[in-house]
Structure 1
Amino acid sequence: MIDKNSPLPIYTQIEDGIRSQIENGELKPHDAIPSEREYATQFQISRMTVRQAITNLVNEGLLYREKGRGTFVSEQKIEQQLVGLTSFTEDMKARGFTPSSRLLHFEIIPATAKIASQLSIQVHHPVYEITRIRLADGIPMAIETVYMSANLIKGVTEAIIQQSLYNYVEQQSELKIGHATQTLEAIVATENETEHLQVAKGSPILLIQRYTYLEDGTPLEVVRSAYRADRYKFTVSINRT
């Protein structure tokens, strides 16, 4: 793992070695890594050098520390490209996970002025208000609240919500989803999000707000999704213009 004649700093070599062990499966999620003292003794280097490498990997999210117990391998994050308009169900299946949802709330409510404006409908027109926990292989990944016009998309039931709303819109309602705009920001989890996402109090989460439109420009939905920052990351390809 260490070549003291290499131009690469020793702490970087340690980082690369641990990262490689994680990527090839030699170190699995929640496995303990050797202590700073053990690394220092094995490679005849200072504990400060080892600490720098491990701290960098903790900051990167590959490792986590537990006071009094040691340092462990984190769960690998699910990566989603911010290219193309897909549903959570489609994303998880494409990555080999089994997607599921736990319905927290489903109700038809009169549109507030804000929701009516976002969906281009009249105030007090009926809208679906749907809140779900989105899971991958049974692990909570996000808590999602959707608002959708009940006059536009008719017949939504709890059974349909447990599957894929996009599938219902396109195959059963025979409407074509066109595009969406969305914003992403980091915020601190609320008490409700902490409970349902099973994260520690004060944990950072990734908040995405999406506005989805049909091909003819009709607003389809307004979505607020709070993703676990320790299990999810987003990537985007950018071309120079």
Structure 2
Amino acid sequence: MSAEQPLHYLRIRDQLALDIAQQRLAARLPGERELAERFCCTRVTLREALQQLETEGVVYRENRRGWFVSPPRVRYNPTRTVGFMDYVAAQGRVPRTETLRREHARADAAIALRMGLEEGAALLRIERRRWVDERPVLLEHILLDAAWCSPALLEEDLDTSLTRLLQERFDLRPRRCDLAMHPCALGAIEADSLQLAPGSPGLFLERLSYADGVRAVELDQEFWRPDALEIVMQVQYPD
């Protein structure tokens, strides 16, 4: 990279960001060749600018479809127990849940240790993809302790709020959870489900829920598009 190139791609980044902020570009950006001709640069330099905007959550790339302007992020408060369908709809967006897999499973050594179960303990495994405004935003892997949750759950409509379904249909309600999150690189399965290229940046969120103070009954692992979510929490300062 020459000494002048970083300034060049940053100027392109700034102009594209301004065009997007002032709504001078369509939701789907022009092709890379057209943009490179506009800025009189190579496609390598253009991609550096686009990747910078992608890192900032301003644009996103779909595999084999091109670049798009990122819609507003969904605001999520992890300290509340409101389900995905409810908090997305409350923000005026259109949520959708798609169940990809449901099956009986057994806890391997790693899961048994994570959930405090005996190795080989019966589990219910659910895999779902969640959408906002017809864009896939997260892939969710759920493991439930079958001794706590009825196997009849797998016969229910899972394209809805699992939290509400457990409460209303089975009178089950976790009492607390441990929540962890960190940036990640999306594997091939997660990236394909979210219409991204393998290795794309993502946000990993894991929730381990307890039926009481000790017993872990649900392990929920979520892989989010990094530009789809904004973590918001209200903190009360001490007196």
In the alignment, which residue of structure 2 is the partner of 1:223? 220
Q: Distance in 2 between matches of 1:169 and 1:74?
A: 33
Aligned equivalents of 2:145, 2:69: Cα separation in 1: 44
SS in 2 for 1:116: helix
Task: Summarize the alignment of residues 139-158 of structure 1 with structure 2, pairs less than 5 Å apart.
Answer: 139-154=135-150, 155-158=152-155
CA distance in 1, matches of 2:113, 2:97: 28
Q: Does the residue aligned with 1:177 lie in a helix, a strand or coil? A: coil
Partner of 1:92 in structure 2?
88
Q: Note if 1:166 corresponds to 2:163.
A: yes
Identity score, percent: 22
- Is 1:30 aligned to 2:31, yes or no? no
Question: Per the alignment, in what secondary structure is the counterpart of residue 156 of structure 1?
Answer: helix
The answer on whether the counterparts of 1:170 and 1:177 sit within 8 Å (CA) in structure 2 is no
For 1:145 and 1:58, the matched residues in 2 are separated by: 26
The separation in 1 between residues aligned to 2:155 and 2:133, in whole angstroms, is: 21
Q: Shift in Å at residue 147 of structure 1?
A: 0.6
Aligned match of 2:115 in 107, 119, 128?
119
Structure 2 residue corresponding to 1:182, chosen from 179, 184, 192: 179
Is 1:106 aligned to 2:102, yes or no?
Answer: yes
CA contact (8 A) 1:182 1:208 kept: yes
Aligned to 2:78: 82
Cα pair 1:115 1:147 within 8 Å, conserved: no
Task: Give the Cα separation in 1 of the matches to 2:94 and 2:200.
Answer: 25
Instruction: Give the aligned length.
Output: 214
CA contact (8 A) 1:146 1:224 kept: yes
Residue 207 of structure 1 is matched in structure 2 by 204
Contact conserved, 2:88 with 2:132, CA < 8 A, in 1?
A: yes
| Cα distance change, pair 151–72 in 1 and its aligned pair in 2 (3 A) | closer
Let me know the Cα RMSD of the aligned residues: 3.8
With the length of structure 1 as denominator, give the TM-score of the two structures: 0.70
1:127-184 CA-to-partner distances (Å, cap 9, x unmatched) read 0111111112332111111110112110112533222221122112212332211111
Amino acid in the other structure paired with 2:105:
I
**Segment of structure 1 superposing worse, 119-128 or 197-206:** 119-128
Name structure 1 gaps, 5 residues minimum: 1-12, 39-53, 66-70
Q: What SS does the corresponding residue of 2:175 show, helix, strand or coil?
A: strand
Query: Normalising by the residue count of structure 2, what TM-score does the alignment of the two structures yield?
Result: 0.70
Paired residues of 1:176 and 1:215 also in contact (CA < 8 A): no
Aligned to 1:194: 191
Question: Distance between the aligned counterparts of 1:231 and 1:219, measured in 2?
Answer: 29
1:21 partner amino acid: Q
Change (3 A) 1:74 1:30: farther
* C-alpha contact (below 8 Å) 1:30/1:75 kept by paired residues: no
C-alpha separation in 2, matches of 1:55 and 1:225: 24
Q: Is the 8 A contact 2:106 2:122 kept in 1?
A: yes
CA drift of 1:224 comes to 1.1
Counterpart of 2:128 in structure 1 is 132
Query: Which amino acid is 2:22 matched to?
Result: Q
CA distance in 1, matches of 2:68, 2:183: 25
Larger Rg: 1 or 2?
1
- Check whether the contact 1:128–1:149 (CA below 8 A) recurs between aligned residues: yes
- Deviation of 1:217 (Å): 4.5
Q: Aligned letter for 1:100? A: R
